[in-house]
Structure 1
Amino acid sequence: MSYSINDLAKLAGISTRTLRYYDKCGLLKARRDPENNYRYYEEKEVDQLQKIMFLKLFDLPLAQIKQVMVSSQKQQLVTLQSQRQKLVNEQKRLSDLIISLDKTLEVMKGKTQMNDVEKFTALKAQAIVDNEKKYGKEIRSNYGDETIDASKEKFCSFSEKDFNHVEDIKKQILIELRPLVGNLDVTKAAAQHLFNLHQKYLLAMWPTGQYSSKAHKGLANMYVGDARFRRYYEEGTGKKDAAKTLKAIIDYYA
């Protein structure tokens, strides 16, 4: 079956402008009617558009999608299977979160009780959701999906003691960072102790073997380059250049 550009746009729920752009950049080439030069699409293009739209769901840049689309059928299958697994993982995460939230609501209504293990599970799930919302796109872009998913898996395996331990480290980092902002001498013991503390936090949070000097410095660059990270350290210390100070310490010792 053939579709005009208007018909395909309606079918897919996208604009004709988007289809024209895909055509122009070579992502989805339209066929041309030899009599009037109008764009039209056959089943092959419809299938390609479906794949493109699936890949867009995962915020892949168009340049990367284009690379996938010109790859072999086998490679496209591998890519889509990988994206499917991410959906399955996300579905499980959301399902667990809904279950936990429902239990919390029942407790608030006085209809049931939630034990400490259930409360802690809900706390970890919410922490993962919050972190993904705030920083997910940036950290995935810098470190890759596999690394971030492995880190999340490690976090999910934390015991309550592990969880409280990393939370205490986060708080202590802010406490020790505050007096160094505007008064930094990276050679002083306080600066080195803060670096060791931050490194300890990363070793606790990151998958085994992930830590490196380069990765640590890369994270420090994100701290100063992203307004959300800067805001976290500014609000946590009450000092404007907190992220910049922490970066200077990491750059010196990492």
Structure 2
Amino acid sequence: MTYSITELAKLAGISTRTLRFYDKKGLLEARRDPENNYRYYDEAEVNQLQKIMFLRLFDLPLNQIKKILEDSGAIQYQALCDQRKKIIAEQHRLSDLLVNLDETLATMKGASVMSDTEKFAAFKAKAIDDNEIQYGKEIRNKYGETTIDDSNRKFNSLSETDMIHLEELTNQILTKLKALVGTHDFKLPAAKRLFDLHKEFLLVHWSKEQYSPEAHRNLAAMYISDKRFTKYYEEGTGKKGAAKTLKEIIDYYA
């Protein structure tokens, strides 16, 4: 079946602007009617759009999706299988959150009692799953399966007090970093304080045996080599160059 750009946008639940953008980027090139030059899409483009939408579910960069779609059918199949794993993980995460919420509602009615550990178990599991989805492949390649599994176990065992402390550390890091973005005077007490806070943050996740200055610097290198980390620190501080400043401070003191 053939679709106009408006018809395909309606079918897929996206905007015509998105389809034009995909066309411009070479992700989904429309065919052209030779008589009026209007865009139209055949079955091949419909199938291609479905793949794009599956690959976009977890914010895979468009340039990476383009490379996948230009590769062999086997590579495309594997990429979609990877997405399937992420969807299943998300399904489990939502299921755990639903169970946790139902238990909370039952507790509020006096039907049951939850331990403090149970109250936060699903949220910690969500944080671990989110981290795996966003950065799992990269950090496992860099640090190894055992190190990341040990880190996840430690995080999952954190108490309510530990979680509150972790949130406070995160806020302090972003606040201190915001004031330092762009500085090259790393001898400032505020720069040393930022490094100490970041190290403390890591030691909430890592064991003392896992930590080393080299591991700290390697992680910092990812802050500027991986756009997702860069985006996190720039959005968290509201300043461009935040990830670069943090890396340079860690390199100076680690």
SS of the residue corresponding to residue 26 of structure 2 reads coil
Give the root-mean-square deviation of aligned CA atoms: 4.7
Distance of aligned partners of 1:89 and 1:229 in 2 relative to their CA distance in 1, 3 Å threshold: farther
Residue 239 (structure 1) aligns with: none
TM-score, with length taken from structure 2:
0.66
Residue 211 (structure 1) aligns with: 215
| 1:51 aligns to 2:51 (yes or no) | yes
Indicate conservation of the 8 Å contact 2:151/2:205, yes or no: no
Once the two structures are superposed, what CA deviation does each residue of 1:117-166 show, in whole Å capped at 9, x if it has no partner?
5235245246x28x95xxx6xx94xxx34246879865653487654695
After superposition, residues 69-84 of structure 1 pair within 5 angstroms as 69-84=69-84
After superposition, residues 196-235 of structure 1 pair within 5 angstroms as 197-204=200-207, 211-216=215-220, 218-219=222-223, 225-228=233-236
Residue 68 (structure 2) aligns with: 68
Identity %: 43
Indicate conservation of the 8 Å contact 2:93/2:122, yes or no: no
Question: Offset at 1:31?
Answer: 1.8
Residue 157 (structure 1) aligns with: 153
Indicate conservation of the 8 Å contact 1:23/1:30, yes or no: yes
Q: Distance in 2 between matches of 1:171 and 1:27?
A: 40
Once the two structures are superposed, what CA deviation does each residue of 1:210-237 show, in whole Å capped at 9, x if it has no partner?
9342313555995994242689xxxxxx
Question: Offset at 1:87?
Answer: 0.8
Q: Distance in 1 between matches of 2:49 and 2:153?
A: 39
Question: Offset at 1:82?
Answer: 0.3
Question: Offset at 1:195?
Answer: 7.0
Once the two structures are superposed, what CA deviation does each residue of 1:155-208 show, in whole Å capped at 9, x if it has no partner?
65348765469558748969x999xx99945999x8997676455335249x99
Q: Distance in 1 between matches of 2:47 and 2:158?
A: 47
Distance of aligned partners of 1:98 and 1:200 in 2 relative to their CA distance in 1, 3 Å threshold: same
Question: Offset at 1:23?
Answer: 2.2
What is the one-letter code of the residue matched to 1:157? R
Larger Rg: 1
TM-score, with length taken from structure 1:
0.66
Once the two structures are superposed, what CA deviation does each residue of 1:38-81 show, in whole Å capped at 9, x if it has no partner?
32221111100111111222212222221111111110010011
What is the one-letter code of the residue matched to 1:3? Y
Distance of aligned partners of 1:248 and 1:164 in 2 relative to their CA distance in 1, 3 Å threshold: farther
What is the one-letter code of the residue matched to 1:39? R
After superposition, residues 14-163 of structure 1 pair within 5 angstroms as 14-122=14-122, 124-125=124-125, 128=127, 132=130, 140=134, 144-147=135-138, 157-158=153-154, 162-163=158-159
Question: Offset at 1:6?
Answer: 2.3
Q: Which runs of 5+ in 2 are unaligned?
A: 181-186
SS of the residue corresponding to residue 40 of structure 2 reads strand
What is the one-letter code of the residue matched to 1:74? A
What is the one-letter code of the residue matched to 1:66? K
Distance of aligned partners of 1:167 and 1:251 in 2 relative to their CA distance in 1, 3 Å threshold: farther
SS of the residue corresponding to residue 119 of structure 2 reads helix
Moved more, 32-41 or 161-170: 161-170
SS of the residue corresponding to residue 58 of structure 1 reads coil
SS of the residue corresponding to residue 206 of structure 2 reads helix
Once the two structures are superposed, what CA deviation does each residue of 1:12-34 show, in whole Å capped at 9, x if it has no partner?
12222322332233211122223
Moved more, 34-43 or 47-56: 34-43
SS of the residue corresponding to residue 121 of structure 2 reads helix
What is the one-letter code of the residue matched to 1:228? G
